[in-house]
Amino acid sequence: MPIITVEGPQISKEQKRQLVGEITKAASDIIRLPAEYITVLIKENGHDNIGVGGSLLSDAEAQ
């Protein structure tokens, strides 16, 4: 049973629904397993928890 983890910014419930649906379909088609065997985990990260180039994203947004 494949487990697919997507890590990114916070998104709406509708965006999560679409993301999970499309990833599941693509994985199912490619791996040739029923969709019921595919698990998708979404890990959301707030901008206070992401650093790029030595700075927090939240600090970069404030500027």
The pLDDT confidence band at residue 2, using thresholds 50, 70 and 90, is very high
Domains of the chain are 3-62 (3.30.429.10)
CA–CA distance, 37 with 14 (Å, rounded to integer): 22
Which helix (DSSP H) or strand (DSSP E) does residue 56 occupy?
strand 55-56
Helix (H, G, I), strand (E, B) or coil at 30: helix
* Residue 42 Cα to chain centre, angstroms: 4
The per-residue pLDDT for range 3-59, each reduced to its tens digit, is 999 999 899 999 999 999 999 999 999 999 999 999 999 999 998 998 889 999 888
- Token code pair at residue 39: 């698990």
